[in-house]
Structure 1
């Protein structure tokens, strides 16, 4: 029985096409062998040809995130890995060069180095057309975190996933379906399963600072009467004290 071959990620297809146009170098995208943790290999028709397995990260907007991704995702292995993303600013292309990260984007910007062969394209404007639905949003990050910290949810209903993640059932369903389309999840007889837990975790950690962290910060408030809480010491399980007030009661 022959195992089915997953279709390449749409972002890989659009980025390689953009590279061919901007660099004048033909490319081809091929599936990788099952079990490698990568869904496609990109070949650049240089002399000699250059092959890299593709690591897809939909969005990178800061050099710090690129550095973190290079450290956690193994992108420093320039002889093996190609970062594929939606857009690389001139600063990010320069960072790729400094870090030794081979990368291409949907606008035709690129840094590809192999031995004495170097292709560096920078400054092309961001592509305006949306070629693929985005998985990464605040709510989807919450769903993915729920699945990462509690993998048993992969065997539960979308409603249960939504309740644990604190999102709507529709958001949970859409996120899970997108993960299935991206081949981050696969369906088995007893439920869903991760195809590469570590890769998805690295991608989540990379995007968390800019997409989710700010929205989780709690507000800070000041009462007109500092000791307002002393009148609320009756036993009540509908509220809890924290911070200095709780410490004062305990000590």
Structure 2
């Protein structure tokens, strides 16, 4: 997606908002030649800004976003190294008080067009919240892909990009959605220039921005699709069984922290997440699990086609494990999520 013009206007409006609420002057600039930015394929930003304060100049790399949610901010923070200079700053049309606190919690600087701001770099600290939402802001756009059914289709595309060129009926079967879902989702992606379609007999398609599509899926999965997977909690008498158990005989898969442990060997799981294809009665009985709304075992319905599973056989697709970890602000979980992204997701994302 190319939003260059919109992003520049958004950044300039946010810098004016900063001047209005703090008196600080700032402008879009080039990177100080004395700073070395070790950018890798996981890091995205639009430009640099320079803020003048306390007789000093502070530089930030800027990522402009036309809409933000907690999950998106968490992803942005997780993929930008904590010690990277210059630090990353997010610019958005409006940051609510709740999101402002989340940004401060995960140490992600931000500016918005209302003049709200969080800046932290060495001896610079600015925190402004409570500025009212500008009346001329356009309402957030609703996309067909961000429904529960649309997210199932996106998940199939992300796990297996060649499905983009498959017949609609095969797509619907693999994504486990109604046939009528496919056309509107494809049209939405084409309109937003996330995929390109060429030819007619049959049409061929390819992803134009797989990273943006992944980020969108991970952002909307927790609030839109996950609650429909019948999440329920349990507790076990002990946790020893988990490390030794292959869930394939129960037609189930490890997600979240246990999936991270299996994929990266980096995280010691505290919460156990299990996705099941069928009624988990056998699994519950064998390991003597008991229902507990505050339990440390969560079970959900598996929503994807078995053919999308690759690699570790009793672990969910890496994209889902990554999304599960991104629903928390736990530092170790976010570090594990970044490892999953770097080792199992990024290498398999197609480039335009």
TM range (shorter): 0.5 to 0.7
Is residue 154 of structure 1 aligned with residue 164 of structure 2? yes
**Is contact 1:68–1:206 with CA below 8 Å preserved after alignment?**
no
CA pair 242-131 structure 1, distance change in 2 beyond 3 A: closer
**Is contact 2:64–2:91 with CA below 8 Å preserved after alignment?**
yes
* Alignment partners' CA distance in 2, 1:132 and 1:27: 27
Q: What is the RMSD computed on CA atoms of the aligned residues? A: 4.3
Deviates more, 1:76-85 or 1:204-213: 76-85
Q: Deviation digits for residues 1-24 of structure 1, max 9, x if unmatched? A: xxxx954273x3454244223211
Match of 2:226 in 1: 213
Is residue 81 of structure 1 aligned with residue 95 of structure 2? no
The normalised TM-score by structure 1 is: 0.61
Q: Deviation digits for residues 120-176 of structure 1, max 9, x if unmatched? A: 321122345326634462244333212111211233467765664426244212331
Q: Deviation digits for residues 103-132 of structure 1, max 9, x if unmatched? A: 233433221233333343211223453266
CA pair 17-148 structure 1, distance change in 2 beyond 3 A: same
The residue matched to 1:212 in structure 2 has which SS?
helix
Specify which of 33, 50, 67 is matched with residue 58 of structure 1: 67
The residue matched to 1:125 in structure 2 has which SS?
coil
Specify which of 127, 132, 143 is matched with residue 125 of structure 1: 132
**Is contact 1:109–1:122 with CA below 8 Å preserved after alignment?**
yes
* Alignment partners' CA distance in 2, 1:106 and 1:75: 26
* Alignment partners' CA distance in 1, 2:132 and 2:81: 24
Offset of 1:101 from its aligned partner?
0.7
Match of 1:171 in 2: 184
Specify which of 1, 18, 37 is matched with residue 23 of structure 1: 18
- The count of corresponding residues between Structure 1 and Structure 2 is 212
* Alignment partners' CA distance in 1, 2:74 and 2:42: 22
Specify which of 106, 112, 115 is matched with residue 119 of structure 2: 112
The residue matched to 2:111 in structure 1 has which SS?
strand
The residue matched to 1:58 in structure 2 has which SS?
coil
Give 5+ residue unaligned stretches, structure 2: 20-24, 31-38, 232-277, 285-352
CA pair 96-119 structure 1, distance change in 2 beyond 3 A: same
Please say which structure displays the higher CA radius of gyration.
Answer: 1
Offset of 1:207 from its aligned partner?
2.9
Give 5+ residue unaligned stretches, structure 1: 219-240
Specify which of 83, 86, 109 is matched with residue 102 of structure 1: 109
The residue matched to 1:43 in structure 2 has which SS?
strand
**Is contact 1:76–1:99 with CA below 8 Å preserved after alignment?**
no
Q: Deviation digits for residues 56-91 of structure 1, max 9, x if unmatched? A: 372325xxx477436633374563422344532224
* Alignment partners' CA distance in 2, 1:76 and 1:211: 30
